[in-house]
Structure 1
Amino acid sequence: MVKRRGLAGLVVALALAGPARAEDKQITWSVYNAAPFMMTEGEDRDAGIFDRIRGLLSARLTDYAHTTLTVPFPRILTSLKNREEWCFVGGVKTPEREVFAVFSRPVAMFYPLRVIVPAAKRARFDALGPLSLRDLLVVHRDLRTSLLRNRAFAPVVDGLFRDHPPGQTHSEFAEAFRMLRNDRLDYLVEYSNIAAYYNTGEFGVPNALVGLPFAENPEPTFARVMCAGTPWGREVVARIDAVLAAERASPEYRRIVEAWTAQEDLPRIRAVYDAFLASD
């Protein structure tokens, strides 16, 4: 597990920018608590993957005043639809979202996707044979799962959840993992570094979760900066893309992308990093 690294120069808090002045251009960064990508509280505050990227961008875009606003993810989408001049680090580009938002080149990746189960229930899932998300959602409806509201994974997975919605939804990662721990869910479909974070003993029981591959496991999903689809948003994204072009190949940036990744998944992340760099 990759813990907090010596990236203090990249983790820039609001104090760096100081209070906004009337003559300043401004970026409002929307965030919510979604470890290990965004951490809004506790000793790891601002140490998440997207937090560090947001800090790097804030440090480079010195002609903007930077503020952060903590709100639930559905509120972020609603505000962007209303053309509020916000940005969010970690958005997945979809045709539906491109109607109201503009996206930077990729900043990080979501990969690999797993069926996350309590270690005590692994035998039950192993007995199903090669796992298929379609089978879990259609044939094994007795196995309980939940989906983050407004979540986008990849087309094949999104389509399965759209056609066969689970019986529950949640609004935060921690909420879902609490339900899994308290036997209110049997499994989650989640990225392995999110599960790895909660597998460190975040809830008091280290190594209590197991990630299982499944048939429909998609290729890496790239996370981007998502801003309001306005002239302001397009200008901000153009500036962000210039910063990313200069920074993404650096060892320091690679360490941000790899932060909180389980050791067994590092080779997978590194194998697709060149494709990540070539993407736009």
Structure 2
Amino acid sequence: MKVKSISLIIAMLSGQIALATESDKAITWMQWDDPPIFIMEGPFKGQGLLDRVQEEMEIHLPNYKHTKSEATVLRVLQEAEKKSPTCNAGWLETPEWKDAFHFSKTAFVIPANGILLKESKLKEITSLKPYSLQKILDGKPKWKLGVGRLYGEGIDAVLFKNNYQKNEKVITVPTSLRIHQMLQSDRIQYTLGYPFEATYYNELLKTKDKVVYVDLTDNKDFVTVHVACSKSPWGKKVIEDVNKVLDDANVRKRIDQGVDRWLMKSDRDRLLKIRAI
């Protein structure tokens, strides 16, 4: 009986070890609908900036079982706080997120958030150079600003200073698609965002009066994007493996090509020097 009991215990422990090992080798990639960061549907489905990063990780981390989960940004954060075996293909490494995630090396670099507006309206703000959000809010009091999220250090401080949620000059819009539709119909005159958002919606909506990007003095010129996994021993190990993938110059080149797909030449040229550092 003792031999059978010992054998049963060994079998149970072996099963637990096998299950633990299998769990350790599974990654759930969290995605959220925010084109062209991720593109979930439409003619450009799967061609988002982070779609490309995630594809590279899945190819070059064959020892892991990869699954995808579509979620809101809030859900991404909740799963990270629970230390679930989840990662996301791109996140900004800021002090507020360091308690939730382990971060990889830089996966790619992008221009920071700035002003997006119709090209035909650009001449109406040239006197306000160098541009800052506060100068435009003050200098164009009849213009409506559309916002759909927070935009990071510098810009967010200006929004809160101007009590943007109750400010008649600021309209909160639930989706980036709706914001760009409102830009085209002149219901708002400008919004905030990345230059690749302008390129994506110009193509998607086939706009004649193109939306253009102008940078702001409120924040840095560029930001770095990193793969992020929940802050746990599991997440730390995955990030170590991700860093090995990012050491491959060919992988980084393909990731940069995915970014460049949604940038105008002027913005691609700006990134050349940064990427060379």
TM tier, smaller: 0.7 to 0.9
Q: How high is the sequence identity, in percent, across the aligned residues?
A: 23
Distance 1:237 1:124, change over 3 A: same
Aligned partner letter, 1:102 = H
Structure 1 residue 186 and structure 2 residue 199: aligned?
no
Alignment map for 1:202-217 (pairs within 5 Å) = 202-216=204-218
Query: What whole-Å deviation, never above 9, does each CA across 1:182-239 have from its counterpart, x for those lacking one?
Result: 3332211222122122222x11324421323433352210111122111211111111
After superposing the two structures, state which structure 1 stretch, 226-235 or 49-58, moved more. 226-235
Q: Give the corresponding residue for 1:144.
A: 144
**What secondary structure does 1:53 align onto?**
helix
Q: Give the corresponding residue for 2:29.
A: 29
| Structure 2 spans left out of the alignment, 5+ residues | 1-17, 165-169
Q: Give the corresponding residue for 1:89.
A: 89
Structure whose CA Rg is larger? 2
Q: Give the corresponding residue for 1:177.
A: 180
Is contact 1:138-1:164 (8 Å) kept?
Answer: no
Distance 1:74 1:181, change over 3 A: farther
**What secondary structure does 1:33 align onto?**
coil
Structure 1 residue 158 and structure 2 residue 161: aligned?
no
**What secondary structure does 2:98 align onto?**
helix
**What secondary structure does 1:158 align onto?**
helix
Aligned partner letter, 1:195 = A
Aligned partner letter, 2:179 = A
Structure 1 residue 259 and structure 2 residue 261: aligned?
yes
Measure the CA separation in 2 of the matches of 1:89 and 1:55.
9
Structure 1 residue 229 and structure 2 residue 231: aligned?
yes
After superposing the two structures, state which structure 1 stretch, 41-50 or 253-262, moved more. 253-262
Shift of 1:262: 0.7
Shift of 1:110: 2.2
Q: TM-score, normalised by structure 2?
A: 0.80
Is contact 1:137-1:164 (8 Å) kept?
Answer: no
Q: Give the corresponding residue for 2:38.
A: 38
Shift of 1:152: 4.3
Q: TM-score, normalised by structure 1?
A: 0.79
Distance 1:181 1:74, change over 3 A: farther
Distance 1:206 1:28, change over 3 A: farther
Distance 1:101 1:137, change over 3 A: farther
Distance 1:145 1:80, change over 3 A: farther
Is contact 1:33-1:172 (8 Å) kept?
Answer: no
Is contact 2:30-2:87 (8 Å) kept?
Answer: yes
Measure the CA separation in 2 of the matches of 1:249 and 1:178.
35
Shift of 1:148: 3.5
| Structure 1 spans left out of the alignment, 5+ residues | 1-20, 276-280
Q: Quick check: which one's helix share is greater? A: 2
Measure the CA separation in 2 of the matches of 1:110 and 1:99.
24
**What secondary structure does 2:34 align onto?**
coil
Is contact 2:47-2:258 (8 Å) kept?
Answer: no
After superposing the two structures, state which structure 1 stretch, 170-179 or 226-235, moved more. 170-179
Distance 1:255 1:120, change over 3 A: closer
Distance 1:79 1:182, change over 3 A: farther
Distance 1:134 1:62, change over 3 A: same
Measure the CA separation in 2 of the matches of 1:63 and 1:97.
28
